[in-house]
Amino acid sequence: MDPFAERPFRQFLQQTSTPGIISALLTQPNTILVSEQGAEMLNVEKGSEIPILVGSRNVMLKVVGIFNATNDFSAQVLRQMMIMDISTAQELFSMQGKLSRVDLIQKESYQEIFSGNEFLQGLSQNTKIQSVNESLEAGERLTRAFRVNLTALSLLTLVVGMFLIYNTMTFSVVQRFGLLGRMRVIGMTRKEVFNWILLEALIIGSLGTVMGLFLGMILAESLLNQVTQTMNDLYFVQTVSSVQFSPITLSKSILLGIGATLFSAYLPAREASSVKPALILKNSLTEEIQQNRFTILGVFGVFGILTGFATLIWGSDGLWVSYSGVFLLIIGSAMMVPMMTRIFSRILKPVFSLIFGVFGGMTLRGIESQLGRTGIAIAALTIAVAATNSLDLMVSSFRTAVSSWLESQLRADIYISPPSLLSNQNSQFIDPELIKKYSSLPEVEYASYYRRFQTDSKGLRINVHGVNLPEKGEKAFRFKEKIKDFDWNGFREKPMVIVSEPLAVKKNLMVGENLILETPEGSINFKIAGIFHDYAAEQGFALMSRKNVKRFWQDDQINSMALYLKPEIQIQEVVQRIENDLIENSGNLGSSSELPLNVRSNTELRKTSLSIFDRTFAITGILKLLLGGVAVIGIFSALMSVQLERSREFAVLRAIGMTPLEIGKMVCSQCMLTDPGDQSSIIRVVFPASDRILHFLQQSHYSLFGSTCCGDLPIVEDGKKLTCFSPERRVKVSESYSRSGIKLGKWYLIPLAILCFLTITTWILLARNEVGIEKKDSGLKVSDLMGDGIQEGFSMATGPRPFHFPEDHGPHPDFRNEWWYYTGNLEAPNGRRFGYQFTLFRNALSPKSPEKTSNWRTNQIYMGHFALTDVEENRFFFSERFSRENIELAGSKTKPFRVWLENWEVTGDSTKDHFPQTIRAKTEEVELELELTSLKPFVLQGNQGHSQKGSRPGNASFYYSFTRMKTQGVLKIQGTPFQVQGH
């Protein structure tokens, strides 16, 4: 970056405590700044050297300064970032004469500013003008599907939780029907009962929400590295090192948690308050209510399934539309589960009675009689099993497809590339000498080379790959579609491309059409000869021959290479030989992980690619476990509650001779037999939904999902067996149970106290993690500009000297500092008075100009200060700026006389002692253009122009003044012009 232009955009450079950093960055090659957090992470200090890899070269960078981030957010962003001057970057990355990006701050829209502007005519064809909002939206689009997938799974988990809350509150009401009936008899109103149930739900929901927030924070911290690495693998480099908990995120979590609880508890509370006291005391009523409710739910379930199918079949190809259709299918199917379970029970009851006798009939009748208590829990388990199994099948299917694709695509034996921060991108180049060396190894039969870059196509950036392939590599491509007369010879010679399926879908490209690409020669039409399957790049790319890259882009650089070895050559031996050679020529680094090039065999690269795939879906796997875990806990609690309510039934069965083992078998059988109406039927309903959403995801390539296939999710099945085992165990241990009513007292104060404590702690943690307020901009310090204070090598003002004009109006590069200083009083025709001050400083950072291969490298910097006083309006305007001498940003010369700093300048007539002189300065609010004519000869200040500043020799300056200059010109204040004159 340019440290002088950075201040209006980012403030980190102003927080350095190291003097002279500007001098070091501009004059010394391979110098960097690091943040305080970065220095701690790397265990370095000022003066330390850090080894880095640039392509295939090892370079040592010297730390010349350490800066403090202005807030916690900046500290995170800058922790893994090194800052260097543009000159160093151009020299280090061989980008002389090139910039990666230019930031602009404009009040108007950039379309209006650059429309028809001559500025655009001097830019490269590949230059793209984009607003910050568009850049942010592009990043949002890249990660949108990733976030949507995680959000959808999280919401699905919340829905399962709502089922369980509903089930829990329903059981709470059912168990206390007797108590509620007595309370209604003695005078409690329906409203009071309703509020009582909702208050309980609010307390429980609030406590659970706050505890969930803490667990979520812990989970987020533990998954941070995993998510960051996934973003690096698929999209762009992330430097996040800690989780930021924003108030909006926590507020949404609280609203969802408490809102879902109250919503789920509404029906049980309404049921408890709406039943008449005389009927509420009859236990048989509750089962009748539940059975009728399940019939109604079944009808709504059918409607949900039909709506879901209609949404998926005729809805638009949007991610949220697809998820909505799947959601309707799953919820509709879950609503049908209790009714289907009852149907299955009635169908199987005669069969079980015939086979197992009385025991079989009792088991099936028990399932149907318990359905009022277990139906909702079974529905929740249905959602969990359907979602987790479908996701598991999709991921495993896609992994198989990727593995098969890798086996066919990776035909070369060895792949060589520079290290890259992104797993699927590489912007570094291989040294041509190494390319020649490894391509000519006696074991190598053929070498192919790859060039990757970006260019514009109708205003959009696309990835382009240039490659030369042997016949073996050409056969690796699996075409989805191609032109009839396609052949690889024509592909190499003609302006032709083949595009990956993701790019074709994103850009709506068709075989036989032309793809317009911007080149240094202008827009070129490339015929799309085919569309091939590809899983390597989520954004897709266009592939052309390297011959066309050299022809149209004049680019012969190589990003990576592949070696095809002769038959019966041991691949690992050649890999080891290349690595040993790299170690010998890279300063004996001693570790293959630190080599300037990655050298990987076919097998190793395939293994690495699949590990990236597995890493991508690790978060999905964790969410599946959470979803299944919530469902298992729910059905566990539901079945335990059923056993509690059946305590009298078990006591009677024991009394008439049934053994504990027989009761346990019956309970376990009933638990397992709830499955036919559950998983087997629902999964079949969810599969078409999975196919639909997978089709959309494959088309958009926003997520790494694939087609469905058969598979199991052992953890959910094991969880269900666990729920079966525990109630059985409880039955064996205790043969009778006692019912106990709920006693009202001050017990509710305990959860309220815990809730208050956890809430306060949450907001304390939130305050710690909030993005900090920007510190006040301290600006670039003069000490930074003055360098390290060394005067040796510069001329010094040690005594009087003769002055020669007009030459002495110009610069004196052998002196370290000089300045041109103008002040005056101005008056408009209406008597309005103004005062101005305009100064330009030149400062040399070192006596000798540094050796440079970049035009940005310099030892001369300029500082300007401009101030204007509007006396009548009592207003004061001022501005300052800094810049370097080179590339016409600033400078000074004698013939013709000119001193300038960007659009501030002083010019003079070289034929008349540089007079008249013209001052031009412009800021956002003030603009000044004045012509000055000297009315009196110059005056030498001090001792014949030698102005002593202190007792130390050399602490002085050569100083002359023109004390009376006629001034006239134009002054503009906030767009209002004034004709002014003065002295």
Average pLDDT over residues 713-728: 41
Does pLDDT of 35 surpass 80? yes
In this prediction, residue 138 carries a pLDDT of 58
Q: What is the mean pLDDT of the chain?
A: 75
The pLDDT tens digits for 57-86 are: 778 899 988 887 766 666 666 777 888 999
User: At which of 751, 786, 821 does a domain end?
Assistant: 786
Does pLDDT of 703 surpass 50? no
| 3 state SS of 718 | helix
In this prediction, residue 420 carries a pLDDT of 66
Average pLDDT over residues 661-690: 57
Q: Look at the chain and count its residues.
A: 983
In this prediction, residue 818 carries a pLDDT of 92
User: At which of 232, 249, 281 does a domain end?
Assistant: 281
The pLDDT tens digits for 187-220 are: 888 888 888 888 888 888 888 888 888 887 877 7
CA distance 347 to 673: 12
Of 261-275, 566-580, 835-849, the range with the lowest mean pLDDT is 261-275
In this prediction, residue 768 carries a pLDDT of 44
Q: Which helix (H) or strand (E) holds 353?
A: helix 319-356
Does pLDDT of 332 surpass 60? yes
Inter-residue contact 581 to 449 (CB < 8 Å): no
Letter string b/e over residues 890-918, b meaning 16 or more CB atoms within 10 A of that residue's CB = bbbebeebbbbbbebbbbbebeeebbbbe
Q: Is residue 461 part of a domain?
A: yes
Side-chain half-sphere of 239: how many Cα atoms within 13 Å?
Answer: 13
CA distance 880 to 781: 12
Percent of the chain residues topping a pLDDT of 70 = 67
Cβ-count burial of 888 within 10 angstroms (0-12 exposed, 13-18 middle, 19+ buried)? exposed
pLDDT bin (cut points 50, 70, 90) of residue 866 is very high
Both 274 and 298 in one domain: the answer is: no
In this prediction, residue 761 carries a pLDDT of 52
Inter-residue contact 209 to 254 (CB < 8 Å): yes
In this prediction, residue 717 carries a pLDDT of 40
Q: Is residue 745 part of a domain?
A: no
The pLDDT tens digits for 726-748 are: 444 444 433 333 333 333 344 44
Does pLDDT of 675 surpass 60? no
Q: Which of 491, 522, 497 is nearest to 511 (CA)?
A: 497
CA distance 778 to 558: 45
Q: Is residue 746 part of a domain?
A: no
Highest mean pLDDT among 273-277, 431-435, 694-698: 431-435
The residue with greater pLDDT, 163 or 916, is 916
Q: Is residue 730 part of a domain?
A: yes
Q: Which helix (H) or strand (E) holds 880?
A: strand 875-884
Of 268-282, 490-504, 507-521, 860-874, the range with the lowest mean pLDDT is 268-282
Both 799 and 782 in one domain: the answer is: no
In this prediction, residue 778 carries a pLDDT of 39
Both 544 and 642 in one domain: the answer is: no
Both 866 and 965 in one domain: the answer is: yes
* pTM for this entry: 0.58
In this structure, what CATH number is given to the domain that contains residue 822? 2.40.370.10
Does pLDDT of 623 surpass 70? no
The pLDDT tens digits for 266-299 are: 878 887 787 666 655 554 445 555 556 677 777 8
Within its chain, how far is the Cα of 712 from the centroid?
33
Average pLDDT over residues 20-25: 80
Highest mean pLDDT among 93-97, 499-503, 600-604, 791-795: 499-503
Inter-residue contact 455 to 462 (CB < 8 Å): yes
User: At which of 227, 249, 281 does a domain end?
Assistant: 281
The residue with greater pLDDT, 12 or 331, is 331
Average pLDDT over residues 591-610: 72
Percent of the chain residues topping a pLDDT of 90 = 14
The two three-digit tokens of residue 237, written as one number: 């480099």
Write down the H helix ranges in 839-935. Answer: none
Both 868 and 825 in one domain: the answer is: yes
Side-chain half-sphere of 792: how many Cα atoms within 13 Å?
Answer: 2
Average pLDDT over residues 150-162: 74
| 3 state SS of 430 | coil
In this prediction, residue 15 carries a pLDDT of 53
CA distance 221 to 230: 15
Q: Is residue 590 part of a domain?
A: no
Both 70 and 93 in one domain: the answer is: yes
Angle, CA of 497, 498 and 499, to the nearest 5°:
115
Both 198 and 300 in one domain: the answer is: no
Both 899 and 848 in one domain: the answer is: yes
Both 312 and 449 in one domain: the answer is: no
In this prediction, residue 640 carries a pLDDT of 67
Average pLDDT over residues 461-477: 86
In this prediction, residue 107 carries a pLDDT of 67
Inter-residue contact 907 to 810 (CB < 8 Å): no
Does pLDDT of 939 surpass 70? yes
Q: Is residue 756 part of a domain?
A: no
Q: Is residue 121 part of a domain?
A: no
Both 294 and 260 in one domain: the answer is: no
| 3 state SS of 25 | helix
Give the CA distances from residue 62 to residues 68, 73, 83, 854, in Å, rounded to whole numbers and listed in that order: 18, 26, 11, 19
Average pLDDT over residues 671-676: 60
The pLDDT tens digits for 300-322 are: 888 888 888 888 777 666 666 77
**Number of domains comprising the chain:** 5
In this prediction, residue 242 carries a pLDDT of 61
Give the domain extent around 194. Answer: 147-281
The two three-digit tokens of residue 743, written as one number: 């006693």
Both 803 and 887 in one domain: the answer is: yes
Radius of gyration of the chain (CA): 39
Average pLDDT over residues 794-811: 86
Of 354-358, 567-571, 883-887, the range with the lowest mean pLDDT is 354-358
Q: Is residue 797 part of a domain?
A: yes
In this prediction, residue 5 carries a pLDDT of 82
The two three-digit tokens of residue 382, written as one number: 């249905």
Q: Which of 769, 927, 787 is nearest to 843 (CA)?
A: 787
pLDDT bin (cut points 50, 70, 90) of residue 464 is very high
Q: Which of 722, 635, 629 is nearest to 171 (CA)?
A: 635
Both 255 and 304 in one domain: the answer is: no
CA distance 308 to 327: 7
CA distance 727 to 734: 11
